Amino acid sequence: MSRRNELDAIIVGAGAAGGALALALARDGFDVAVVETREPKPWHVEDEIDLRVVALAPDARELLADLGVWPTIAARTGPYRHMRVWDALAPGELHFDAADRGEATLGWIVENKLIQHGLWQALQAFSDSAPTLPEPRTRSRGSRLADDAAGRVRLYCPAEIVELDNGADAVTATLADGTRLRAKLLVAAEGAESAVRKQLGIGFDGRDYGQRAVVAHVRTERPHEGTAWQRFQPGGPLAFLPLGDGRCSVVWSLPDAEASRILALDEAAFRAELGCAFDFRLGAITTTTPRTAFPLRLRLAERFLAGRCLLAGDAAHVVHPLAGQGMNIGLRDVTTLRRVLRDARARGSDLGAAHVLRRYERERRSESTLAARSFDLIERAFGSAFQPLAALRGAGLAVANAVAPLRQALADAAAGRQ
């Protein structure tokens, strides 16, 4: 491929991190290609709310708004104004209130599927609204080429990378059909099982928690009060997250054997056990959807940079869901890389130069490692049934709640206001 056709970036994966990054860079005037194995499953407004949800922080919402996808997402979100955290084995409760900052919300509960749908639709609309450009000499089945006054987006879907040449001057990705894409850098953002990360020989640290998160949507006797609730128990945390239709999304982290038992219960028994585990804070559980579960793991890539290739999103880090921060951390990868590349362009630097990409790696690996290890420490500390430790936990929650600056610092960290 000639240098005339050289891209600024190849982005592998069009999920939350990859899709947001592609849109952000294109809007900033960069030429990008997106390689995705398959289109997201279609989303329709009449669909039942997806069981996989995330708690979006304000900085994540601001990014999605800047990319033009928030209006699509906002129609079916569960904004929450409060968060309450307490321990099953000790007194003491931590309460966050948006009013403490003069704001309307702390965050929004949103379906994973809806975020992916909004980003994918935006990428397609970006393409459809643009004038036609000359076609590359070869292209994948289903690829689309787009341009606007900012940058270009080429969507290659369905497609996968079979060969990667991480050269000194550029990175070249060869797709399964023989298409060759050449760019100044490549970002692997295709999830926890990233094939590109494996091709780059980047390992990861971490552990399997021996837990699964049982998820369902439930209706309770009393309203959820626009509050995200979390109760720490010896087996793992239990979260009730407010949905826009008045129900709560339940994320119940349990040891594998206990998760299997809970999944096997009939509906009445499940509602009774769930209500008891939640201390009936919202009264009885009146209805529930079918349940499912997913395994919980900690994964931290040993490095986020190899030559001209970077890792982002779940390809770089997977954290425990107890704080609902996984997607927020991934979207902060996007915001950081966007800023780094803007700065490099303004200075006239090679976008894929080591000194440019190391800025991203230093900042994001440091922050994501701190977040992942912190969540892991919380899971270990609050997962213990040792009574003296439980007493300390309860006291710690009470102190954090009583000391306004400490409480606000915790809220700011969760909201991405470092």
Q: What is the pLDDT of residues 291-324, one digit of tens each?
A: 999 999 999 999 999 999 999 999 999 998 876 7
Check whether 128 has a pLDDT greater than 60.
no
| Mean pLDDT, the chain, whole residue set | 87
pTM given for the model: 0.89
Instruction: HSE, CB side, 13 Å, CA atoms: give it for residue 391.
Output: 2
Q: How large is the C-alpha radius of gyration of the chain?
A: 22
Kindly state the average pLDDT of the residues 101-116. Answer: 92
In whole angstroms, give the CA distance from residue 178 to residue 180. 6
pLDDT tens digits for range 214-268: 999 999 999 999 999 999 988 899 999 999 999 999 999 999 999 999 999 999 9
In whole angstroms, give the CA distance from residue 250 to residue 336. 31
| Least-confidence region, from 41-45, 126-130, 174-178, 260-264 | 126-130
Domain 3-44+115-204+298-376 and domain 53-111+209-297+385-415 have a common topology = no
Contact 53, 249 (CB under 8 A): yes
CATH number for the domain whose boundaries are 53-111+209-297+385-415 = 3.30.9.10
Kindly state the average pLDDT of the residues 351-379. Answer: 91
> Kind of pairing, strands 171-175 and 161-166?
antiparallel
Check whether 140 has a pLDDT greater than 90.
no
pLDDT tens digits for range 62-103: 999 999 999 989 989 999 999 999 888 777 788 889 988 788
CATH number for the domain whose boundaries are 3-44+115-204+298-376 = 3.50.50.60
In whole angstroms, give the CA distance from residue 19 to residue 410. 29
Structure tokens at 119: 């980003």
Q: Which of 167, 187, 165, 190 is nearest to 175 (CA)?
A: 165
Burial class (CB in 10 A: 0-12, 13-18, 19+), 6: middle
In whole angstroms, give the CA distance from residue 113 to residue 416. 23
Burial class (CB in 10 A: 0-12, 13-18, 19+), 75: exposed
Predicted confidence band of residue 403 (pLDDT cuts 50, 70, 90): low
pLDDT tens digits for range 289-300: 999 999 999 999
The β-bridge partners of 310 are 187, 305
> Identity (one letter) of the amino acid at 206?
G
Q: For position 148, what pLDDT does the model report? A: 39
Q: Where are the domains of the chain?
A: 3-44+115-204+298-376, 53-111+209-297+385-415
Residue 379 phi, psi dihedral angles, 5° rounding: -60, -40
